[in-house]
Amino acid sequence: MNAPTISLASRMPKWVGALVRGLLIVLLAVAIFGPLLNMLIWTVAEAWYFPNKLPLRWGFQFWGRVFRPEAGAMTALWTSVLIAMMTVVFSLLVSIPAGYALSRRTLPLRSVFLLVFLLPQAFPAIAVHMNIARIFYGIGLNGTIWGVMLVHAIQGLVFSVWIASASFAAVNQEQVEAARNLGASPWRAFMNVSLPLAAPGLMASAIFVFLISLDEFSGTFFVGVPDVRTLPLTMLNAALEGNYQIASITALLLLVPSIAFMLFVEKFLKADVLAKVGT
Amino acid sequence: MTEPVISIRNLRVAYGDNEVLKGIDLAIAPGSFIALLGASGCGKTTLLRTLAGFNEAAGGSILVDGKDILALAPERRGMAMVFQSYALWSHMNVAQNIGYGLKLRGISKPEIAERVTKLLAMLGLQGYEQRPVAELSGGQRQRVALGRALAVEPKILLLDEPLSNLDARIRLQMRHEIRSIQKKLGLTAILVTHDREEAMVMADQVVILDQGRIAQIGTPEEVFQRPSSPFVASFMGAENIVDCVAKRSEKGIAISVPKSQASTLECSTDAAADGACVAEDAMGEAPRPVQVHFRSESAFLSLTETAVSNALQLPGRVAQVSYLGSGYRCEIDTDCGSFFVDHPTRVSPDDVVTICIPAGALHVFRMDPARTVAARH
C-alpha cells in the first residue's frame, strides 16, 4: 500500500517559509534602496567624514548652492528635459513605421534590419560617440541640441524599435482584417486598430527612451560640451570635485522629470493594459 | 433557379507550393445559407478567406452579381465576416465596435447610435453600449461580433466557425438565432464548420470539402442519406465499413459477406422502397468487391436466432458496451472486423448477438483499393 506522499514544503512549519521569504525581501530592498538611501543622506549632510556612520552636521546648505542661478543646475535640468522629450518624439517617429514593418513576416532581410539597429550597441560607447562627434563637427551639428538629441536617439532606438516591433506583432491579425472587412483602407485600419492596440507597448518604449536620454552621459559629453550642458554632466562635475552633496542633490533633481513622465504616461495607461505589453 | 449571387469557378489557392484549393466550382443562390463542411485542413477556411479577400487566388474566378471580385481589396468586396476568434477591438466599447463600419461609411453619430441600439435589441444585448468588450462573456462577444458584421447591412455574411468557442448549450441556441436572423434579413450566408450537425441544422445547402476539392453539394438530407462517396458517407457518420461482394440481381442488388457466415442479402436499390443506397459503379453483372457503410444508430442487435427480413445480418460477439444516454453503444466483434452498433437496452460483453442492418441503412460503394491496402498494414 502506498502512503500518501508528503512533500518537503508541507512538512516544514509555516513560519520557516515566511521567514525565508521575509529575509529575501529585506535583502532585495537593501540592494535596491541601499544606494538610494545613502544618496538621500548625502543631500542633507553638511559635514560627513570617514569613518563616521552618519553625517556630523545636517542641513540644507547645499540646496541653496545648487539652485543658485549661476550654478546652472536649473538650466541644465531644462536642457535635459527638452532633449529627452525631443528624443522620445524622434524615436517614436522612427520606431512606429520601422517596428510595424519589422513585425510583418513578409519583410525581406528582417533580421538584417534588427541587426543594424543593434550594431551601435555592440561597440564600446565611447568609441562610437567620439566618431559621431567627428562627423557631427563636420556637418555643424556639434554643440547643438539637435546633435545631442540624435546621439541619444541612436541608443534609444534599439529598444524602441524592438519593443514597437514586438507590440505590433502581438496585435491579432484578425482584428486588422476585421477592420478591412468592414471597409477600412489599410491606412485607416492601421490608425484605428493596429496603432491603438500596440499603444501600450509604444508608451513603454517611450518611457524607456526618456529615461535613457535623461541619464545619457558619454554622447552628450562628446557632442554637446561645452554649448549643451545636461544635468548628468553637471552631476559628474560635482562628483569629480568630490562634492557629494551637489552630486546627490542633482541626482535627486534628475528623478523629478523621470517620475513626472512616468505619471504622465501612466495616466493614459491602465495597469491591465500595461501588463499586456509584449504578450 | 434564380441567378446565383456568387459563382466560384475553378478557384485555386496555394500557400507556396502547397495547393490548398484545387479547383472549386460553386454557385450560391441569393438568400441561401451555405455550410462549408470538412475536416481541418480541407481548405474550407481558406475558401472563406479567399472570398473575403484575405487570401490570394492562384487561378479561377469569383463572380459576385456577375462581376469578378478577385482583384478587389477586402474593403471593397461588401462582405461582412464573423471571425472564429471574434476579433473584437479591445480598445473600443460595444457600441464603438458595432458602429465602426457605419462610421467608415460617413453616417452621422446620432444615426449610428440609433442603429447600434436597434441591433443590440435584436441580439438581446440591450443597454450594453458602453461596456468594454473584455467584460463580456463568450456568447455576448459572439453576438457583438455578429452585430458588427450585420451593422453594415451586408448582402453576404461570412461566418468562420463562429460557434466553435462557445459552450455546448449556448452553441445550440446561437445556431437557431443566427439562422433566424439570416432568414429575417434575407442575407446570403456562408458558414465554415467542422461540425456536421451544425451544418445540417443551419444550412440549406451543405458543401463537403475534402483535400481542396468539393466532395458533394446537396441539401442536408441529400448528403446525409445519399452520400456520393465513401468519404462523405464516413464524414456524415456512416463510419462502420463492411467488406462485401455485390452484383446485380433480380430485386436490385445481391450483397454477400465472404469473410462471415452471413447469408446473402438481396434487396432493392430504390431508396423510396427501403432499398440500399448504391453507387453506380459498385454494381455489375459479375460480382465485384464493395465497401458497405452504415451508421451505428441505424443498425440494431438481434439477441435471438430469429431471422430479420430485408437486413444484412452479421453474427458476432459483444466486446464492449458504453452508455450514451439514449441507449448503449456496443462494440461487436465479427469475423469481418468489429463494428459499433446502438442498442436500447444493456447487453453484456461476450453475449452472442447478430448485427442487423436494414437495407435502407446501407451505403454501397465500389471498394477503394487504397482502403484494402491500408487495412492490411
Question: What digits encode the pLDDT tens for the residues B167-197?
Answer: 888 888 889 999 999 999 999 999 999 999 9
Distance CA A214, CA A107 (A): 34
Would an 8 Å CB–CB cutoff place B15 in contact with chain A? no
Domain C-terminal end among A62, A80, A108: A62
Question: Using one digit for the tens of pLDDT, what is the confidence trace for A219-244?
Answer: 898 888 878 888 888 888 888 887 88
Query: Is residue A2 situated within a structural domain?
Result: no
CATH of the domain at A242: 1.10.3720.10
CB contact under 8 A, B52 and A193: no
A275 near B CB under 8 A: no
Q: Delineate the domains of chain B, giving CATH numbers in brackets.
A: 6-225 (3.40.50.300), 230-376 (2.40.50.140)
User: What local confidence, expressed as pLDDT, does residue B140 receive?
Assistant: 92
| Residues A93 and A140 both lie in one domain | yes
Nearest CA to A45 out of A249, A213, A205, A235 is that of: A249
- Strands (E) in chain A, as ranges, are 45-47, 57-58
Domain termination site, one of A62, A78, A102: A62
Residue A268: what pLDDT? 62
**For residues B169 and B152, is the Cβ–Cβ distance under 8 A?**
no
pLDDT at B107: 94
Judge: B87–A172 Cβ closer than 8 Å, yes or no.
Answer: yes
Same domain membership, residue A253 and residue A156:
yes
Q: Helix (H) and strand (E) counts for chain A? A: 14, 2
Q: Decide if A256 is inside a domain.
A: yes
Best mutation target among B51, B56, B69, B81 (most A Cβ atoms within 10 Å) is B81
Residue B291 is predicted with a pLDDT of: 92
Inside any domain, residue A84: yes
pLDDT, averaged across chain B: 90
DSSP string, B16-75: TTEEEEEEEEEEE-TT-EEEEE--TTSSHHHHHHHHHTSS--SEEEEEETTEE-TTS-GG
Q: Are B203 and B33 in contact (CB under 8 A)?
A: yes
Whether residue A72 sits in one domain with residue A29: no
> Could you tell me if A57 and A108 lie in one domain?
no
> Count of CB contacts below 8 A, A vs B?
65
Quick one: A209 and A169 in the same domain?
Answer: yes
Q: Are residues A112 and A26 in the same domain?
A: no
Partner-chain contact B91 A196, CB within 8 Å: yes
Give the pLDDT score at A275: 53
User: What is the count of structural domains for chain A?
Assistant: 2
The pTM of the full predicted model, rounded to 2 decimals, is 0.80
Confidence check: pLDDT of A279 > 50:
no
Q: How many CB atoms lie within 10 A of CB B202?
A: 24
- Domain of residue A48 covers 8-62
Asked if the model's pLDDT at residue A270 lies above 70, the reply is no
Q: Does the complex come out with an ipTM higher than 0.85?
A: no
What is the pairing mode between strands B188-193 and B156-160?
parallel
Based on the fold, state whether residues A37 and A84 are members of the same structural domain: no
Task: State the Cα–Cα distance between residues B353 and B301, nearest whole angstrom.
Answer: 6
Residue B263 is classified by DSSP as P
Tally of CA atoms within 13 A in the half-sphere of B134 that contains its CB? 5
Answer whether residue A3 shows pLDDT above 60.
Answer: no
Count CB-CB contacts under 10 A for residue B339.
Answer: 22
List of chain A residues whose C-beta atoms are within 8 Å of the C-beta of residue B80: 181-182
Does A182 touch chain B if contact means CB atoms closer than 8 Å? yes
DSSP letter at A190?
I
Can you list the alpha helix ranges (DSSP code H) found in A193-243? Answer: 195-215, 218-223, 231-240
Residue B332 three-state SS:
strand
pLDDT tens over chain B, length 377 residues: 578 899 999 999 998 889 999 999 999 999 999 999 999 889 999 999 999 999 999 999 999 998 999 999 999 998 999 999 999 999 899 999 999 999 999 999 999 999 999 999 988 899 999 999 989 998 899 999 999 999 999 999 999 999 888 888 888 888 999 999 999 999 999 999 999 999 999 999 999 999 999 999 999 999 999 999 999 999 999 999 999 999 888 888 889 888 877 778 888 888 777 788 888 888 888 888 999 999 999 999 988 877 778 889 898 999 999 998 888 999 999 988 899 999 998 899 999 999 999 999 999 999 887 775 544 44
CB contact under 8 A, A172 and B54: no
Residues A208 and A263 in one domain: yes
Question: How, if at all, do strands B59-64 and B240-248 pair?
Answer: unpaired
User: With an 8 Å Cβ cutoff, is A183 touching chain B?
Assistant: yes
Report pLDDT for A1.
45
Average pLDDT value over all residues in chain A: 84
User: Is B266 within 8 Å of B252 (Cβ atoms)?
Assistant: yes
B161: amino acid identity, one letter: E
* A130 and A38 housed in the same domain: no
